[in-house]
Each structure stands twice: as structure tokens, then as C-alpha cells.
Amino acid sequence: MSRTAKKILIIMCALMLLPALLFSADTGNIVRFGNDIVVPEGQTVNGDVLGIHSGVRIYGEVKGSVVAIGGRMEIGKTAMVKDNLVIFCREYVRDPGATIKGDEVNFSTPVLGQLFDTIKFVFSNVLLIILFILISIIFLIWAFVYFLMNIDLEHTTSFIKENSVKSIMYGIFLSLLFSILIFLCVISIAGVVAIIPLTILFFTLTFVGYLATGLLVGQIIAQRYKWNPPVSAFVQILVGSIVLGIIVVIPFLGTLAHFVIWFAGLGGVVHTLLTKRDNSTNDNNTTTPMV
């Protein structure tokens, strides 16, 4: 078995043992959530040691495994661990003189610590999260109505049709930017409050973009089959959306089409918003010449 496969197997075993450690009545195990664990020199732990968002310091002997999730782990010079070390925490320090009989799986990183801080913040502020949800619902309704009222779907459709590659590139760039912003919010406790509004804003723009691509497909179908009398934009959007919904369920090609629709619609909508803003600015700056 390769070393990488062995590490993955150790991680899977550690994760499967977590429920057993948390609810075990065996006094040989030491389990802490949020509180430090210290095994001093000369002390022997007959089971496993599990610290979740805790400081784990081992200077004595542990006959089982040592698992640290969040927090910090320190293995001293006199420490002896007869099984595995599994570290998912912000910081890990090991003295070269320590004895580890099993394998060491180390995924310690400061970013991981920030992630656990964010998770702890979220779960320790339930009422605040409920308030965020209520505010988010209101914001969702406002965003949906605002964008539908202020985005010219005809203009967006024309831009997607005439500049399809540019529209797709805009959509890809905005999707990457959104992913980066969400990642920065996740690793920053202060940024948690911005996750829901950003997500609502992004997916509202995406949904409006989907309506625009549906309108484009509906227009193409109406022209192709020469519908007479002409149908309304609402019917064209409905027919186009149904056709797009059928296309995206096709294996492989449907997935590709889904991303093309996603990026093209998003790029077209944002371009329309920016163009409208520029036009409004130019109109405001226009002055009437003196007679």
C-alpha cells in the first residue's frame, strides 16, 4: 500500500472512531471539546486522546491514537504515542525526541484554525444566525424584485447573442471572484455576516441571467418556426426555459451546456447593469447649452 493511501486509510479510521470516542464510557479514553488536554510526563493513557477545538499537549505515554481537530497540538520530548497521530489543527509542534510508533498524518495549517473559529462562532450564536436568515429572506425578495425591474432582458439577450464569448468570459470571471470572496469570508469571523447577502446577490443575478438566456432561446424558436401572431416575451421565456431545462439533463453535454448558460447569463446581466449605470452617469453629466 502506498504512503498516501495509508494516510487516507488512517484518516478514515480516525473519523469513523470519533462517535465511539465521544460516547464511549471507557475511562481509558480522554475526550475534550473546547478544553485543553494535558498528558504530563510519567502519566499513561490506556486509550485514545481526542481534542476538538482544544489544545492537546502530550508529554507522557498514550497507548492509543492522538487526534486533534482544531486548536493546537504539542508533542514533547518525553512523549510516547503507540498508535497514530492525526492532526487537523491550526498549529502542530513536535519535539524530535518524541517517540511515535504509528503513522503521523499532519494537516495542520493556520487557515484550518480560522475555519474552525468560524464554525464555532456560527454554532455559538444561534439567535444571531436566525436573525441573519430573516434579514436574508427580506434581502432576497428585494434583490429579486430590484433586478427584474431594473434589468432590460431584451438588452441582455442582445448582448449575449452578439457577444457570446465575451459574456461567457465575464461570467467565468465573476464566478471565480465570488468563490474567492466566499472563501475569504469563511476564514474570517467578521466576514461571516457577508456570506448570505453575497450568495443571495450572486444567485439572484444568475437566475435573472437564466431568464435572459431563456428569452434568447425562445426568440430563436419563435423566429425559426415563424410564430404568428408574435407571442409575448413571457411566453418566449417560458418556452426557452423549458428547452434549456431539457438540454441540461443530457449526460455530459447537458453539464457543459449548464455551465455555458450559467456563465453567459451572469456575464450578460452584469454587463447590462454596468452599461445602464454608465448611461445614467452620462445623462446626469449632460448640461443644456446656454442660448
DSSP letters, 23-58, are: H---TT-EEEESS-EEE-TT-EESS-EEEESSEEEE
Domain co-membership, 94 together with 133: no
State residue 29's pLDDT score.
81
Residues 273, 230, single domain; the answer is yes
290 is a domain residue: no
* Residue 96 falls inside a structural domain: yes
Q: Which of 60, 80, 111 is the last residue of a domain?
A: 111
Whether residues 88 and 139 share a domain: the answer is no
Q: Given a cut of 80, is residue 8 above it in pLDDT?
A: no
80 and 165 assigned to the same domain:
no
Tell me the three cell numbers of residue 282. Answer: 452620462
Name, of 47-51, 58-62, 127-131, 234-238, the range with top average pLDDT: 58-62
Max mean pLDDT among 1-5, 25-29, 229-233, 267-271 falls in 267-271
**pLDDT in the model for residue 58:** 93
Q: Are residues 106 and 137 in the same domain?
A: no
pTM of the prediction?
0.51
- Alpha-carbon distance of 247 to 262, in angstroms, equals 13
- Number of domains forming the structure of the chain: 2
120 assigned to some structural domain:
no
The answer on 24 and 86 residing in a single domain is yes
For residue 17, pLDDT over 80 is answered with no
* Within a domain: 69: yes
In this prediction, residue 62 carries a pLDDT of 92
Give me the amino acid identity at 92: Y
Mark whether 172 and 255 lie in a shared domain: yes
Q: Which domain holds residue 97?
A: 3-111
CA neighbor of 269 nearest in space, from 141, 137, 168: 168
pLDDT number for residue 173: 92
pLDDT at 61: 93
Whether 291 is in a domain gets the answer no
- For residue 144, pLDDT beyond 90: no
User: Has residue 1 got a pLDDT over 80?
Assistant: no
Q: What is the pLDDT of residues 256-290, one digit of tens each?
A: 888 888 899 889 888 888 876 555 555 555 544 43
**Within a domain: 118:** no
- pLDDT(162) > 80: yes
Within a domain: 116: no
Residues 165, 217: one domain?
Answer: yes
The pLDDT score that the predictor gives to residue 25 is: 45
pLDDT digits (tens, 9 = 90+) for 73-122: 899 999 999 888 888 777 888 898 898 888 888 777 666 666 666 666 66
Q: For 197-227, write each residue's pLDDT tens digit.
A: 788 888 888 888 888 898 888 888 888 887 7
Model confidence at 291: pLDDT above 50: no
pLDDT, residue 59, reads: 94
Boundary of a domain, candidates 85, 111, 137: 111
Q: How many CA atoms lie within 13 A of 50 on its CB side?
A: 19
Do 147 and 273 lie in a common domain?
Answer: yes
> Do 96 and 137 fall within a single domain?
no
Specify the DSSP class assigned to residue 289: P
Q: Are residues 259 and 144 in the same domain?
A: yes
Q: What is the pLDDT of residues 49-78, one digit of tens each?
A: 888 878 899 999 999 888 888 778 899 999
Whether residue 31 is contained in a domain is answered as yes
For 61-66, the CB contacts below 8 A with 24+ separation are 64/28, 64/29, 65/14, 65/17, 65/102
Residue 238 has pLDDT above 60, yes or no: yes
Residues 89 and 134 in one domain: no
Of 76, 111, 146, the residue at which a domain comes to its end is 111
